[in-house]
Structure 1
Amino acid sequence: MSFPLDGVSLDAPLLDGPRLRPKAGGAADSLVVLLHGYGADGRDLIDLGNAWADLLPHAAFVSPHAPEPCGQAPVGRQWFPLTFRDPHELPRGAQAAAPLLRAFLDVELAKLALPPERLALVGFSQGAMMALKVGLAEDLRPAAVVAFSGMWVDASAPHPAPVSNPPPVLLLHGEDDEVIPAQALFGSAKALAAAGVPVEWHLSPGLGHGIDDAELAIAGSFLAQSLGGRSHGAR
């Protein structure tokens, strides 16, 4: 699962969105990229950075707006179109959107002079699909991937290929999710484990398509553990 950057058109829109500097001040020792869901934009998730600032005081946060206007939410954005009719649109859509997101990650890491192992990807819903798609690419290997209320779109393949040198993955899902049923959590976890990915999961009782305080705490601890220590060196 690699995404050649020469496949990104020079006319493609550049991704950007709200940012948070490290709470501790100074140079960032890690980068957390927050990927919003279908019909939202980067402002929807950037406050997660404030929620995790005490756990990750040296981390920078960025929440890019997805590249396309949303077909079903005029003021929102989408990583790829959804018709809810084509059973193949999720893997195809995520694959098509991946090169632009990967190019954004490369630029952001270069700005901060950080290697990929100091990167964490966090996504919600469609953004979770993108976080898993790009985060499990063989040529990236971030520190961690966190997916709220989403799924691994490649789990639908009859025999998902083993993932080379995968990062740890955390899946979180509401038991009463009305948009992406909780069964997607179990299917994704099973397929990821079969592909050799170290995966943890949490199911939130009574939660719909959203993020609750318990999930925030679990995800924050997971990120702090994955990015723990200033292994990139004194800066």
Structure 2
Amino acid sequence: MRLSSVNRIETDIAVDDRLFVMFHGYGNDEREMVRVIDAVYAGTGREASYLSFHGTYDRRYMGGAYWYPDGCGVDERRRECSAVGDAVAGLLDSPMFAPRRRILVGFSQGGYMSYRIVREHPDIFDAAILMSPSFKGEEETDGASIEGDTRFLLLYGSRDRTIPLDDQRTAHRALGETGRLESREYAGMDHAIADAEIADIRAFVGLDAH
């Protein structure tokens, strides 16, 4: 497995100790999440620290990447997420990252990836922002078994049909059972990202725009 990323690490943690660990959606690349976090920080007078990862499978001819093959089974999807999660956990096990608040951010496939990483590495992340995540295959998940103290923010558009409604309901139920979930729905939004979503993420992570 090859795991690559684009990184920006601001050294003055007294100004901002957050570290965003980010996973893009199917067919996109690491720059997708950089655009998202730059929008979250716009107007704050600060720069975000982040690791934004590139999907482990590149799409031939069309560009972009993905984290697990379309249509793959639950076991394969989980294996792919576990391999990435283990690598990221090893990377974060460094004195360089120890004093930082670590926040996962993922869109679609990347949202599911973020959820699986929290599930398998429950003591690493302070928060996880799941934007329009797939939750296929998690129907039997007992949310009470998701250990740790990670807070979740779950975001969907009211017109998102890329993620079936049953999968969205599964996400709400499973994460709600942790007792650590905040969720938002955006009227008229498809499988996309909206300005209101950016504002809600900013509030969730405790950033104030000036």
- Could you say which TM-score interval applies, normalised by the shorter chain? 0.7 to 0.9
Aligned residues: 205
After superposition, where does 1:115-154 map in structure 2 within 5 Å?
118-153=101-136
In the alignment, does 2:63 pair up with 1:75? Answer: yes
In the alignment, does 2:191 pair up with 1:206? Answer: no
CA pair 31-76 structure 1, distance change in 2 beyond 3 A: same
RMSD (CA atoms): 2.8
Shift of 1:193: 2.4
Q: Could you state the TM-score of these two structures normalised by the residue count of structure 2?
A: 0.83
CA pair 140-106 structure 1, distance change in 2 beyond 3 A: farther
Q: Could you state the TM-score of these two structures normalised by the residue count of structure 1?
A: 0.75
Give SS of 2:54's match. coil
Percent of aligned pairs with the same amino acid: 24
Query: What letter matches 1:26 in structure 2?
Result: D
Shift of 1:220: 1.6
Match of 2:94 in 1: 110
Match of 1:155 in 2: 138
Query: What letter matches 2:17 in structure 1?
Result: D
- Name stretches of at least 5 consecutive residues in structure 1 with no aligned partner: 1-11, 229-235
After superposition, where does 1:184-199 map in structure 2 within 5 Å?
184-194=167-177, 196-199=178-181
CA pair 111-59 structure 1, distance change in 2 beyond 3 A: farther
In the alignment, does 2:49 pair up with 1:60? Answer: yes
CA pair 65-44 structure 1, distance change in 2 beyond 3 A: same
Match of 2:34 in 1: 46
Structure 1 contact 138–163 (Cα < 8 Å) conserved: no
Match of 2:12 in 1: 26
CA pair 46-58 structure 1, distance change in 2 beyond 3 A: closer
Counterparts of 1:210 and 1:197 in 2: how far apart (Å)? 27
Structure 1 contact 132–152 (Cα < 8 Å) conserved: no
Match of 2:200 in 1: 218
